[in-house]
Amino acid sequence: MRLEKCWFCSSTVYPGHGIQFVRNDAKIFRFCRSKCHKNFKMKRNPRKVKWTKAYRRLHGKDMTQDSTFEFERKRNRPERYDRNLAENTLKAIKKIVKVRADRQSKHILNRMKGNKSAERKRDAKELEQSIHMVKAPGALQKDPSLTLVKVTRRSEENGMKE
């Protein structure tokens, strides 16, 4: 059973699924679903469409270089059937899938590392810029010791009393 890759989104195309387009220069394009086929007909570049694998790889969203990808290769010569080999391969597939999943989740964690502090910074900036919505500007002028943190805490307390 040969599993093909979708030309547009790079997902797996199982036999009997999707659509295949043969251009008049005999190049074969396979699509996993009509969504990908339509996008191809619209002459969209998969690298510029955010939900495709090509885009995600290009922009460092997905893991690109990993030893687990090397097992998945396209072989054009048929392999002679060997029961032991098949058995070992099936066992190995499970292990490799697990290793890859672990590495991928690690990759995501690494990618998201700086996000929390950046978010905090953005929030703090927004609060500073629109503090007049929380506290009247007059009150801030009367008591300039009011820092941002104090203001937010007080407003929280008020909210709880009410």
List contacts with Zn ion (CB under 5 A): 6, 8-9, 11, 32, 36
Residue with tokens 């307390």: 157
CB nearer Zn ion, residue 4 or residue 63: 4
Dist CA 27 CA 59 (whole Å): 27
CB nearer Zn ion, residue 18 or residue 63: 18
State the nearest-atom distance from the C-beta of 97 to Zn ion, in Å: 21
CB nearer Zn ion, residue 36 or residue 63: 36
Give the amino acid at 28. I
State the nearest-atom distance from the C-beta of 76 to Zn ion, in Å: 23
Distance of CA 59 to the CA centre of its chain: 10
* 31: helix, strand or coil: strand
State the nearest-atom distance from the C-beta of 14 to Zn ion, in Å: 12
* Residue 7 near residue 31, CB atoms below 8 Å: yes
Rounding to the nearest 10 degrees, give the CA dihedral for residues 161, 134, 119, 157: -20
State the nearest-atom distance from the C-beta of 108 to Zn ion, in Å: 22
State the nearest-atom distance from the C-beta of 105 to Zn ion, in Å: 24
CB nearer Zn ion, residue 13 or residue 63: 13
**Selection from 107, 14, 9, 12 nearest residue 53 by Cα:** 9
Pairing of strands 28-31, 12-13: unpaired
CB nearer Zn ion, residue 40 or residue 103: 40
Dist CA 10 CA 62 (whole Å): 13
